[in-house]
Structure 1
Amino acid sequence: MTDTPVEYHRSRYDAPRKKGFMGVSIGVWLLSLLVVSILFAILLFYLQSAKFKLRVMDYTDDAV
C-alpha cells in the first residue's frame, strides 16, 4: 500500500448536497439582496434630490 491519503470522491448514489434556495447558497442571496437594496436606495436618493420643474413657455406671434 501507499502512504498517500485517499481522497473522498462523492458517489453518484449519494444524496445531493444542500445548496440553499434554488441552488444558490444563502450568502450569495444575502449579498445580492444587499447590492440591489443599495442600488435602489441610490436611485431613490437621486430621484428625490433632482428638481423637476415645469418650464412655462410664453410664445408670442406678432404676425397674427
Structure 2
Amino acid sequence: MSEARYVTSSYCLDGDCVAVAADAGGGVVLKDTKGSGTLSFTADEWSAFLAGVRAGEFDDARLRG
C-alpha cells in the first residue's frame, strides 16, 4: 500500500500522529506516522466506527462532566 495517499490532521504538529488513506476497495488504511505497520478496515467497519465516534461511544466518561 505504498502508493496510498495518506493524510493527517491539521492538529498534527510534532509528527507523532495517525495517518489515514482510502484503499482501492473503498475501505480505509490507518498508520502511525512514526511506525511502519498499518491497520485496514472495510468500508462497513469504518462507517460503524465513525457512527460510534459521532454517538460518543468512545468518549472518556471523565470528560462528560
Q: Same fold (TM over 0.5)?
A: no
Structure with the largest fraction of helix: 1
Give TM-score, length-normalised by structure 1.
0.23
Structure 2-normalised TM-score? 0.23
Which has the larger Rg?
1
Higher strand share: 2
**RCO comparison, higher one (Cα < 8 Å, 6+):** 2
